[in-house]
Amino acid sequence: MKRLACSITVLMFFIISGISVNGQGKTPEKSNPDNTLTDKETKEGWKLLFDGKTGANWMNYKSKTFPVTGWTIKDGILTVNSGTGTQNTGGDIVTVNKYKNFELRVDFMYTPGANSGIKYFVDTETNNGALASIGCEYQILDDKLHPDAKLGINGNRTLAGLYDLIPPKNKMDNGPDKWNHATIIVKGNHVQHWLNGQMTVEYDRGTPAWKELVATSKFKTSPEFGEVTEGHILLQDHGNIVSFKNIKIREIKD
């Protein structure tokens, strides 16, 4: 009986200590600093689009440089500031590079009543940049306070939806002034939106159903909306304070 009690005591010691009974050490995972990649992510092909210090991978499509006003970088956070009207002097920023098949991860935080978005398949060249602000949009919105949430059809202008096209499902919003995690996955014409670990939108571009959907949206006059093979990723300046960090991307091979 004493031996049994002693064995149980030793086993409990190993469990509490995080050491397996087969002698292999169990090291607890450490939280990764913001705007960095783990060794595992690096091996998987992830790359940072924001290093927490500079706007090196982003530009205003007209100036081809990161805006000197309107956007700020402080304490490892990229923030679009508030401005008069619908846009401040910074304007939208797009990635320097174009992307085709990819997984994009972004932490974002919106302030009460704010509106912004993450757009992809953005074409900045056609017709001298006439479509530079248009793309498939992962909506960022304070659904409770911003009037846009009540516009559109069946909530297709709300957080984590495909703006003006597909309303989100299974949404778990942490709310304003708190960090949320967005993921956008593109494999060919198949696209998914994720918010805080829950898939909110899934669709296929270029299909008859897609064309019908676009035809009933505000993008009906935009030729071949959302059907370019590759494009820039855009962070929207909508005149409201919204912050971003841990922006990383992994290109998916065909």
Q: How far is it, in rounded angstroms, from Cα 159 to Cα 166?
A: 11
* The pLDDT value given to residue 84: 52
Q: How far is the CA of 189 from the CAs of 31, 34, 186, 205, 250, in angstroms?
A: 34, 31, 7, 5, 17
Which residues contact residue 131 at a Cβ distance below 8 angstroms, ignoring those fewer than 6 apart?
Answer: 122, 123, 124, 222
In this structure, are residues 90 and 122 in contact, taking their beta carbons and an 8 Å threshold? no
Q: How far is it, in rounded angstroms, from Cα 112 to Cα 90?
A: 21
pLDDT tens per residue across all 254 residues of the chain: 545 444 444 444 444 444 333 343 333 445 689 999 999 999 999 999 999 999 999 999 999 999 999 999 999 999 999 875 444 568 999 999 999 999 999 999 999 999 999 999 999 988 888 888 899 999 999 999 999 999 989 999 999 999 999 999 999 999 999 999 999 999 999 999 999 999 999 999 999 999 999 999 999 998 889 999 999 999 999 999 999 999 999 999 87
**Domain 31-251 is in which class?**
mainly beta
CA 56 to chain centre: 18
* The pLDDT value given to residue 131: 82
Q: How far is it, in rounded angstroms, from Cα 58 to Cα 81?
A: 16
Type of residue at 91 = G
* The pLDDT value given to residue 89: 67
* DSSP letter (8 states) at residue 29: P
Tokens of 205: 């571009």
Beta bridge partners of 224: none
pTM of this structure: 0.86
* The pLDDT value given to residue 22: 37
